Amino acid sequence: MNSLFGLDRPSVKDEDLALLATTDNHIQIMIWESLLQGADIPYLLKERGSGTVMKVIAGYSVFNTDIYVRKEQLEEARALLEGCEESSEEEAE
């Protein structure tokens, strides 16, 4: 269904931005936002489909959210997110 409406791919066309991650987990988005803000990395959240409207009406979206950063900061941002995932895996063990 997502491919039918084009919701299976990112839609931002800005050439200075690079896709960092995609998720439908709003808790994970809040954690990633906090990490990026703490590292002074500007980012853009882009909801797929009618995700923005869904968040206004229901408080959350069932559609994915794409997180974009500047191309020159992509590797730094990836390292932050990977470090967060590794530490949460270690805590789970």
Residues of the domain holding 43: 17-88
When pLDDT is averaged across residues 81-88 and rounded to a whole number, the result is 72
CATH number of the domain where residue 57 is located: 3.30.70.790
Give kind and range of the element (H or E) at residue 46.
Answer: strand 43-47
In the chain, what is the straight-line distance between the N-terminal and C-terminal CA atoms, in Å?
A: 36
Amino acid in position 24: D
Confidence of residue 4 (pLDDT cuts 50, 70, 90): very low
Tell whether pTM > 0.75. Answer: no
> Residue 17: CA atoms inside 13 Å, Cβ hemisphere, count?
18
pLDDT of res. 91: 54
pLDDT at 20 over 90: yes
pLDDT at 12 over 60: no
Residues in the chain: 93
Q: How many domains is the chain partitioned into structurally?
A: 1
When pLDDT is averaged across residues 6-35 and rounded to a whole number, the result is 79
Residue 72 lies inside a defined structural domain of this protein: yes
